[in-house]
Each structure stands twice: as structure tokens, then as C-alpha cells.
């Protein structure tokens, strides 16, 4: 009888040990979801969501470490399993957020590209109306140089866009737009100043 009890107890212990195994399938799924989020460029397009996923993975790993530090009979991986599932969901959200933001930035870059090209054409047309007097020559030449630098910026942005680097393209286009806007403002100011001088000279006569 004692021998049978020992056998049953041994079987029960083995059963407990078998149950107290890390939820490997859930762990693998959580890690895979985080990898997919990174591959979707979540670091660029959804950094907050990616950070949340990384935190969830860290929480899962911390719980696994706690259980591994316990005597086998006292291990329980239920909480680790829950944390793994939560980490998987966080990783999937980071991927989804990144993909959505990437498409948004792509659309914004396309719009900016058209705006910058239009603004550059307007600035070049406006440059033809800029005063050509001796005193303004150096200033106008500097403005022309600034405008000349815009097209290479557009070309670089286009290259980034074509490579799928939409955030980089958007940043370059925002810089180009700001430069064109600054030049246009300076040209308009020069034109107004020139008109003012001509008006003053006319009154003196």
C-alpha cells in the first residue's frame, strides 16, 4: 500500500512539474509581434507604441525570471502567460500604429512635394520682379543662391520618398518649404523697399 502511495505521489509531483513549464508558444508569439513592429519601423512612426510593447516584453521576462528562481514545485506560469499575451497585443498594436502613421506621413510628404514645387516656381517668377539696382545686387544674388539650393533638397526628398523613407522625405520637404518661404518674403520686402525709394525720389522731383 505504501508503495502504491509513493507511486501515486510521484506521478502527482511529475504532473505538477509538467504543468509548471514556461508558456513557450505565447512567449514566442510575443517576441515575434515585437519583431514585426520593429520591421514596420515602429521606432520611427510609432515610438510610444513600440516603447509600450518593449515594456510589456520586459514585464513578461521579469515574471519568467521570478518563476525560474523558485523551486520547481512552487512555479506557476499563469501570470507569465497573461503577460505574454498582453505583450503580443502590444506588439501588434505597435505594428498597426506604425503602418497607419507611415501611410499618413507618405500622404503628407506627397502634398508637401507639390506645395514646395509650386512655391519654388512662384519664387523664381517673383525673382524676375526683384529690384536690380546697385545697392540690392548682392542681396538678390544671395537670394538666388538660396533658391538654387532648394531643387537639390527636393531631389533628395524625392530619393528618400522613392526608397520608402517617408519621414525623412517629409522632413527635407519641410526644410525646403521654409527656405522658399523665407526667400519669397525677402524678395517681396525688397520689392516694397524699391517702390518706396522710387516714390520718395518722385516726390523730391
List the chain domain ranges.
23-99, 102-198
User: pLDDT by residue (tens digit) across 59-70?
Assistant: 999 999 999 999
User: pLDDT by residue (tens digit) across 19-74?
Assistant: 579 999 999 999 999 999 999 999 999 999 999 999 999 999 999 999 999 988 89
Burial (CB < 10 A; 0-12, 13-18, 19+), residue 125, is exposed
Task: Determine the Cα–Cα distance for residues 110 and 180; give it in Å rounded to an integer.
Answer: 17
Asked if 34 and 54 touch (Cβ cutoff 8 Å), the reply is yes
Question: Between these two residues, 47 and 195, which has the higher pLDDT value?
Answer: 47
Stretch 90-118: mean pLDDT, rounded? 98
Return the number of other C-beta atoms located less than 10 Å from residue 166's C-beta.
24
Q: What is the pTM of this model?
A: 0.79
Amino acid at each position: 500500500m505504501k508503495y502504491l502511495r509513493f507511486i501515486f505521489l510521484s506521478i502527482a509531483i511529475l504532473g505538477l512539474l509538467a504543468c509548471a513549464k514556461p508558456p513557450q508558444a505565447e512567449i514566442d508569439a510575443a517576441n515575434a509581434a515585437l519583431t514585426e513592429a520593429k520591421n514596420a519601423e515602429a521606432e520611427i512612426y510609432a515610438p510610444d507604441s513600440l516603447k509600450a510593447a518593449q515594456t510589456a516584453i520586459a514585464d513578461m521576462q521579469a515574471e519568467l525570471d521570478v518563476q525560474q528562481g523558485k523551486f520547481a514545485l512552487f512555479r506557476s506560469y499563469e501570470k507569465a502567460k497573461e503577460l505574454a499575451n498582453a505583450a503580443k497585443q502590444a506588439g501588434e498594436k505597435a505594428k498597426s500604429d506604425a503602418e497607419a502613421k507611415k501611410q499618413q506621413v507618405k500622404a503628407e510628404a506627397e502634398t508637401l512635394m507639390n506645395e514646395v514645387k509650386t512655391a519654388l516656381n512662384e519664387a523664381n517668377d517673383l525673382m524676375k520682379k526683384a529690384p536690380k539696382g546697385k545697392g540690392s545686387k548682392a542681396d538678390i544674388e544671395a537670394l538666388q543662391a538660396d533658391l538654387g539650393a532648394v531643387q537639390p533638397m527636393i531631389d533628395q526628398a524625392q530619393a528618400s520618398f522613392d526608397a520608402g523613407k517617408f519621414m525623412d522625405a517629409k522632413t527635407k520637404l519641410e526644410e525646403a518649404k521654409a527656405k522658399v518661404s523665407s526667400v519669397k518674403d525677402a524678395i517681396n520686402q525688397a520689392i516694397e523697399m524699391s517702390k518706396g525709394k522710387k516714390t520718395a525720389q518722385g516726390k523730391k522731383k
